[in-house]
Amino acid sequence: MLLESVLAGDRLSLARLITGIENKNDDALSVLEQLFPYTGKAHLIGVTGAPGTGKSSLVNRVANLYRHPPESLSPKRVGIIAVDPTSPFTGGALLGDRIRMRDLTGDTGVFIRSMASRGALGGLATATSQVVQAMDAAGFEVVIIETVGVGQSEIDVARLAHTVMVVEAPGLGDDIQAGKAGILEVADLLVINKADQPGADYAQRALNQMLDMAFSKEMTNNFHHDLKIKTDVNNFWRPPVIKTVATDGSGIGDLFETIQKHLEFLKSSGEWAGREKRRLQSELEHTLQDHLLFRWREHVPKELYEEMLLKLLERQISPLKAVTKLLDYEMSLY
Ligand SMILES: Nc1nc2c(ncn2[C@@H]2O[C@H](COP(=O)(O)OP(=O)(O)O)[C@@H](O)[C@H]2O)c(=O)[nH]1
Ligand SMILES: [Mg+2]
């Protein structure tokens, strides 16, 4: 049985399940459904940032530290999801090699999976979330999700995670990417990787300034619905800005420690529970939307839809009226 073998952490079964999930295979989705009660344990870490900033290299380093942590900690099993068609984990050799080799030479504690982001159109968050659930149920205590870029779909995926790490590199352009598209708001940790290159100190200062501004605005407005910076003085998290060099490992210990601190913060502040709720609510809503739309498409004749569209174009009815008519038609079928 696929269900039992995935729960037992069997890698081949997990791989089969994930392929099934990606193909939207009914059997796989039903197994996933039965696995759901066993999920919710893994610490989900999102890693995002522009291509070439060194995300995969950092993930590699961090995963290795989870496998071989400092003395006081016990090793954790790590699942890695690379939502990136150009990831070294998938195609080429490069940085994924070490981790992949470890994988091949029998470290059953690391499981890497890549997912193509193209063509997924909004479904990416759902698909990623399902793969996360599969890994979680299979006993991977940490799941790292690497996404490329700073667009909306990356932010959606980032929102899946408990700990969101935004990676910058100096000298990629004049702008600091994190300032854009609300990425700063979703960051729990900011990493300036490639600190061996010129401009790292400048980037760190600039990011700290942006954070200070956001933080003081936050304090004055007492508005903390979306910004993760808390106004409760005893219990807030101000995203740290950490410099790393993924190629030689400098700063990785610091980064790893900060991730552990964030996890502690999540647990002690009640934020873990809050994020779980937000995450499942968003999944519920996405699933609901998908299903309602699917059911509606199955039932409402194309002609009626076309007719409404035509009436809209001719300004005979309003969009709201059109929707009401279309929904009324669907309801009349029951
Ligand atoms: N100089 C320098 N190069 C790095 C560092 N981290 C990664 N790189 C290089 O940057 C390139 C892109 O790294 P990769 O991890 O694939 O970036 P990703 O696209 O963000 O996943 C590779 O050639 C790495 O060897 C670093 O800290 N310093
Ligand atoms: Mg990468």
238 Cβ neighbours under 8 A, 6+ residues apart: 211, 215, 229
pTM for this entry = 0.84
Alpha carbon of 327 to ligand 2 centroid (Å): 44
Amino acid code (one letter) for 226: D
Is the model's pLDDT at 52 over the cut of 80? yes
Residue 140 φ/ψ region, left for φ over 0, alpha for ψ in the -120 to 50 degree band, beta for the rest: beta
Average the pLDDT over each of 153-162, 271-280, 311-320 and give the range with the smallest value.
153-162
What does the pLDDT read at residue 160? 83
Q: Ligand 1, closest atom to CA 58?
A: 15
Amino acid code (one letter) for 189: L
Ligand 1 and 46: CB distance under 6 A = no
What's the whole-number mean pLDDT along residues 135-144? 97
Pocket test for ligand 1, best of 47, 57, 89, 204 (most atoms within 8 A of CB): 57
Alpha carbon of 89 to ligand 2 centroid (Å): 7
Q: Which of 162-171, 175-184, 307-316 has the highest mean pLDDT?
A: 307-316
79 Cβ neighbours under 8 A, 6+ residues apart: 42, 110, 111, 112, 113, 132, 135, 136, 138, 140, 142, 143, 144
Q: What distance lies between CA 120 and its chain's CA centroid?
A: 15
Ligand 1 and 153: CB distance under 6 A = no
* Percent of the chain as helix, strand, coil, to the nearest 5: 55, 10, 35
Is 325 in contact with 308 (CB distance < 8 Å)?
A: yes
- Distances from the Cα of 57 to the Cα of 89, 119, 247, angstroms: 10, 26, 7
Is 194 in contact with 53 (CB distance < 8 Å)?
A: yes
